[in-house]
Structure 1
Amino acid sequence: MTTPRGARGAVPRHDDRRRSFPQVATREAPDGRFAATWWGNAWVEALEDTALDPARLARGKAYAGRGHVDAITVTPGRVVAYVHGSRPRPYRTEIRMRTLGDDGWERFLDEATARPDHIAALLDKDVPHALEAVTGLLPAPGDLVPDCSCPDDGYPCKHAAALCYQAARLLDEDPFVLFLMRGRGEQELLAELTRRNAALSAAETTAAAPPMPTVPARAVFAAAERAGLPLPPPLPAPDRPGRPAVFPPDPDAPDPLALDLLASEAAVRAHAFLITGHDPVAALTPWQDAVRLAAAHPGSGLTASTRALYRDLAYALDRTPTDLARAVAAWRQGGAAGLAVLEDPWDPPAGPFDRARPALVAADFPAFRPWRNRLSTDSLQLRLGRDGLWYGYESDAGREDWWPRGAPDHDPVGALTDLLGR
């Protein structure tokens, strides 16, 4: 008997557009609402604004609270689970919704990569309101279509309502579940964000670079003609970096995500060098370049494969993944200058540093303790960089575990205000 092709020794393929989640733990938001995030509660409101029977909603919420919803499977446009009711056998329940079209995803990706804080928010499991405003990611009343194998013809029945409430808790934990509901998988979305972010960085580098010194073309051709070496016509420079090939998974080959990242980086650097004659990262140390690589990849640390990439970059330089994560946060905060602020304390001259404490007291902030270029409380810290900017840091109270937060500012009050989100 022959073995069907691919049946033996086949490598299972990851399906980025299908995710299953174990039974979600029951909990209640601090303010008494069912969900803990604004987008989770927007999902709940879309359900409640559509429902025809408040009593069925109340029973569905009670079912969700008592753990009647089994594991949930999410695919584009569909959320499915088995929900236990009054009978021994659970009911198959699903919620359908439309997926975003290509135009909607283009608007989302353009908006997300236009501002670094949007990418940072997504990595922190947050959804900026601006992204919702331009794309309509969240369902409006009537967008959620329930279906259930139970005999109840309510719209929705209590089982579909229970599934909807539990789905809101999934959205609380991971906004990429919402993106999957709307049609794009996490790795697919992160890969596209990475490419666009790299292209945007290359365009900014190209625009800021000084022009290359020039030589009159007639002099070059005249010299070549005298030497009997006619030159071929030059090729025009491409408008943008090329996109890497698609690397299929292979157990005997390097990780395809790492290959994709390195190929994208090589294309961006080559394009910048071709246009400007300058390699923007040639002067970086290996540690700075590893931090830059990780910071330029929006998905680093979020999925199993990107966590492995994070780990390998850190260990290659005798650092820990936590060291790299902290350094990436500093790089995203201020580039190479932000990384220097993280790693190199220094003694600033008299002037802006001495004026910072009175300014903070005048703005009704707590008293800060000075040490070298740093001002600290138990949980907040400001660091003065050699570039004259103040960088915000946070730590759990009583612990020396400082992490970069917020945007740098020439004004210490402005940096601290941004850090606290005032």
Structure 2
Amino acid sequence: MREHDTERTFAALPPERGRGFARTWWGQAWLKALEDAALDSEQVKTGRRLARAGAVGSVSVRPGRITAVVQDRDRTAHRADVLLQELSAEQWDRFLDMAVERAGHIAALLDREMPPHLVEDAADAGAELLPGLGDLEPECECGAWDHCGHTAALCYQMARLLDQDPFVLLLMRGRSEREVLDDLQVRSVTPSEEPTNSQEASQEGVDAAEAYATGSILPPLPSAPELPAQPGSPPSLDTETPPAPGVDPAALTFLASRAAAEAHRLLSAALLPEHEQDAVDEELTLFQDAVRLAADASEAAIAARLAEGTGRGREELEIAVRAWRYGGTAALSVLEDEWVPEAESLARARAALESAWDDGDRPRLRTAHNRWTVIGASTQLRLSRDGRWWPYRREHGRWVPAGPAAHDPATALASVDGEA
């Protein structure tokens, strides 16, 4: 077994509030080894409080041991150590041989990740990386023979360091990051594997670290092509060959043109500066997507097929299309969603209605859930969950959208034809 004089020292971390100490699964496994083995759970809680308060000083990590000075609440300082057995030379050989055979493991470590299958494969090879029950041995100046608040605090702080860099765990197990990477490099290229000509070199490839290091000499990527002002036109399906049974050329042409328009819109958004990009579009339901398509359909036959496909009927689809044109998915939600406002939302709505008109001009309204119907008129206001008002008008016995949303109910109601 080679001699180790490697040591890493991490500056004291600031107090930590409002979150757990381990965000990664391997950091949580480290804490589980502490919490499951400690005989006094109160000492563990004390350690967690001390670590959270920033009472742990600089942490020194070296093979087999971590060390830090931990202050009690009365400012008394104690040196605390936690020991973890190093892997033997034979265990390291088995671990490194396993890692070389699985390139994904090396890539994960370089990305400061420790996926579960890496740890499982290492265990199968006879090298346990994460500590188990009783593997974290405490030593503290306070004289406690089991984990005290000081060693527990050190373990909690160590979990934060492990979150940032799993190589810290490998250092405790006996080898530094540089040693591990050098050993992997040696194992990945042996004399018997060296290529004898350029063709073999091309087949074998090169070491990932070497390829990454020479990336700066590669030519820059070409700039993105200029976005066309309009989406392209789909190919014409008007040929002398008759379509197969069940194939509607007009419908296919329509879908192709809409796909081109949607691709153009998405690409336009992607090329905008990040601060100008809209939020990612929400996923549409089958009915919402059919309404979106129907809003752009100029042929009655296509609208009829869309209505048939959704099972909603032509008239219902036409009303939904009208809503879509006023406000997209938000307007569709108001069309279909009848909900009961909570007390706070209802109070805000009533206050908005009271302040929107002078006393003599205020219409009389009848309330039903989120819908306010003007008494004596065929008009209605619908309140959306975001606090906006949507005007509706009654036509042929059905309520239909009559305008875009407004934050002021009087403004919304005034947009209805025939209403002042």
**TM-score scaled by structure 1?**
0.48
**TM-score scaled by structure 2?**
0.49
